[in-house]
Amino acid sequence: MGADSRRWRRATGAPRPIVVAGLLAAALSQLLDGAYPDHVVVDQAVTAARSDRHLRPAAGLVNAVLRKVAAGGIAVLETLDNGKPIRETRDIDIPLAIRHFYHHAGWAQLIESEFPEHEPLGVVGQIIPWNFPLLMACWKLAPALAAGNCVVLKPAEQTPAAIMVWAGLIGDLLPPGVLNIVNGFGLEAGKPLASNPRINKVAFTGETTTGRLIMQYASENIIPVTLELGGKSPNIFFADVMREDDAFVDKALEGFAMFALNQGEVCTCPSRALVQRSIYDRFMERAIKRVESIRQGDPYEMSTQIGAQASNDQFEKILSYLDIGRKEGAKVLAGGSTNQLPGELSGGYYIKPTVFEGHNKMRVFQEEIFGPVVAVTSFKDYDDAMSIANDTLYGLGAGVWSRDGNTAYRAGRDIKAGRVWTNCYHAYPAHAAFGGYKQSGIGRENHKMMLDHYQQTKNLLVSYSNKAQGFF
């Protein structure tokens, strides 16, 4: 299906795909009884998003859209589509999506004063990942609309349901052509979108290998890209964490277990844990107990802390890395296998939170697994910690845990990553710039600077003199 903000259109092209609910490993739907689009449908969506339409002032529009994010049932559908616990979709994803619209609605009111002589890019393409479908759509769509652009948005083929339902809810708020949605696999929808000569920018969130392809497609027309790509984030625990047995230790143990949030399907997943050698045994004994206490079960139960992987492909990929880790000689300290749940959930894509112990040259330390798997090693001192932390192709996120402000600040500066959490992890406020170093991406999302990525600067030099300049 292709959709603009007022009507749905049936696509032509490839056979109808199956959308699978990960928590059941069962078919959820054939996407709206449509077929995936070919380049013609993508081109129709771009045509609907007129490049000459400037939406300023957009504050009222963005405010109106955000109120629809909280519509009843969206969180339930997101859990069914993705497999994550309802407590995350209801209490984290949806509130964050709303917050991003509030944030950019505020900037939309100040756009003329804060961004003088800036103009919207026109029509922008946005390609959404499957791990946070609605949230990622909102934190890309909100700044694009606030800056006055029209959008052609492609959801992930694995998890389109909540986005499509939400698009139906906001259809009466947007002028025709402002928001256009095309569903499809990368070659059938993503590539035609990124290489379309009438697209003025592409924003992509996904794995690094696909990001390279998006850059190549966009380079055909010399248009800017924003890429939020993979990561292998270090989570560093200095010895002073265990100096006292208090609430801070409990907080640090929760920080260690954050690799299991969203089933580990987070680009900033703290998938490498570095623990100072002098506290390693004491810390890890308690950390393993914390991991083993994580409640995995029915994603619709509020007590469930970890749900199912989003798709069979991802499920099989994670299992392959569990095998790779063992063959490399990594020691399994916790998990390491699937979790067979009872009843109708018995065939779901459930993997136990897994802790490997090894060294930083192993593949499970260097390659993005994108699952509930953390690889743990020890370090001798500060310099050793920084050397291990930065020994990676990626630079998206990192965590630093220390009671010493000087140590925490120095580490935050020395780690080559776009975001460093200090004595916390997985906080994503709308006002904080987000993006990566090295092969973790280009550009930033969120923050005021996000609006820079959706505008272009125009300078008008005006002469008020009637006299020639005198050169010729």
Give catalytic residues, as residue numbers.
228, 267
Q: Please, how many CA atoms are within 13 Å of residue 468, restricted to the half-sphere of its CB?
A: 3
Q: Which residues pair with 421 in a beta bridge?
A: 399
Whole-number Å distance between alpha carbons of 259 and 14: 37
Tokens 């506290």 belong to which residue? 279
What radius of gyration do the chain's Cα atoms show? 23
Residue 411 amino acid letter: A
CA 315 vs CA 20, 160, 445: distances in Å: 13, 19, 28
Sign for the pseudo-dihedral over CA of 217, 222, 226, 227: positive
- State the angle between helix axes of 94-108 and 59-69 in degrees (0 to 180), rounded to the nearest 10: 170
Task: Please state, in angstroms and as integers, the Cα–Cα distance from residue 215 to each residue in 106, 137, 224, 267, following that order.
Answer: 31, 20, 9, 19
CA distances from 114 to 18, 106, 111, 118, 457 (A): 46, 12, 5, 9, 12
Q: What is the helix (H) or strand (E) element at residue 18, kind and residue range?
A: strand 18-21
Contact (CB, 8 A) for 389 and 226: no
Please tell me whether residue 416 adopts helix, strand or coil conformation: coil
**Residue appearing with tokens 């002032």:** 57
Helix ranges (DSSP H) in 178-268: 191-195, 208-219, 247-257
DSSP 371: S
